[in-house]
Amino acid sequence: MAARRFLYLDLDSYYACCEILRDRSLRKVSFAVGGSPAQRGVVSSASYPARQYGVRSGMPMSQAVRLCPELRVIPPHFDDYQLRSRAVMEYLHTITEAMEQRSIDEVVLDITALPHDSEALASEIQTTIRQRFQLPCSLGIANAIRVAKVAVEFGKKRGTPGKVPQAITIVPPGTEAAFLAPLPVGIMPGIGPKLEASLQMAGIATLGDLACWPMRDLQRRYGRYGLLLQRSAQGIDRSEIETTHQRKSISQEHTFPLDVTDRAMLIETMAHQSSRVSDMLQVKGQFATVVKIKMRWEDFTTLTRQMTLAEPTDAAVMITQASHQLFTQAWKTARPIRLIGVGVSGLQTTRQLRLWDTEASAM
């Protein structure tokens, strides 16, 4: 049986690039898409000139303005982002139906059965998206989805500072572990700033270090998650794509650089996540019947809660309200939070009313 091949595509700085298409005068401007700094807004996307100042997605807008005093703050235009994303995904569906859209600006394709040369295919896709939709993208190809995702991040980090990367990074079969070995542990999906710092304090600086670290020590420090960490660092990932019909949930998570106890910041972050989840539902033409939240404390323990809605929804305001209610019920002691997330499940393609009562329960 032929080795699997996956192509991971990331629309570079998507919201910011969409805003440039709306207003060409922004092309060389330091700007960020998101909420007002006066109202504890969060950066949703930053232009590449702004990134040179350290402005990043998920950062409080007030911090972004301190880093870049001339920063222009642009309110998001989600309807426009959804339309452009839908057009790109429709194009990719002409290449293969074996694809999974993971967010409004990320998608993974199973290209195992395609006859194309991987590099030629990646170049064709990148060129077509640039010419047809005026959007830049970076791509990674590997035998495992997680490695392909790392390849995308690796390519983007090698780009010229202040410019859109438009990278293509291909990991030849059998070289996954060697490709990952010299890379910093923080590049691996699922390793946020706090976990990266914890690994580095233990002496684990690179994925190569992690790949050969004694498993007993990893399990002592991180429990069962230690095994997943090591396998990921070794390039072992047997996960498959989930097509639209298979996918049972949609979620957004954010790991903070420092543990957060600021209630307003947490609520603002969840509102942003709810909007992203709503975007995905509308892109896919789906409605959710369950809203979930996830909170990870400073000691890596995790709490999840969920609520069944009175009727299916794809509306950001409904998801935001439900997640806010769950958060208020669960976060009573102002305990520091290192990760927070919002998700939905019970997906369906119709909006028929359900005779369910709204209820909250532990996941």
User: Is residue 353 scored above 60 in pLDDT?
Assistant: no
CATH entry 3.40.50.1820 includes domain 1-174: no
CATH entry 3.30.1490.100 includes domain 249-362: yes
- Read off the pLDDT of each residue in 185-199 and give the average, rounded to a whole number: 87
Rounded Cα distance between 252 and 36, Å, is 21
Determine the 3-state secondary structure of 94 from DSSP. Answer: coil
pLDDT grade for 359, boundaries at 50, 70 and 90: very low
Q: Which amino acid is residue 177, in one-letter code? A: A
How would DSSP label each residue in 32-59?
Answer: EEE--GGGT-BEEEE-HHHHTTT--TTS
Copy the structure tokens of residue 13.
Answer: 């700085």
Q: Higher pLDDT residue, 135 or 280? A: 135
pLDDT in tens, 299-332: 777 889 998 888 889 888 999 999 999 999 888 7
- Read off the pLDDT of each residue in 19-27 and give the average, rounded to a whole number: 96
**Does the annotation mark 359 as catalytic?**
no
Copy the structure tokens of residue 228.
Answer: 């997943």
pLDDT in tens, 163-186: 889 999 999 999 999 999 999 999
Rounded Cα distance between 33 and 15, Å, is 7
pLDDT grade for 351, boundaries at 50, 70 and 90: low
Residue-level length of the chain:
363
Between the CA of residue 137 and those of 9, 16, 25, 234, what are the distances in Å? Answer: 7, 13, 21, 27
Would you list the domain boundaries of the chain?
1-174, 178-233, 249-362
Question: What is the CATH T-level fold of the domain 178-233, as seen in this structure?
Answer: DNA polymerase; domain 1 (1.10.150)
Catalytic residue (one of 70, 97, 106, 119): 106
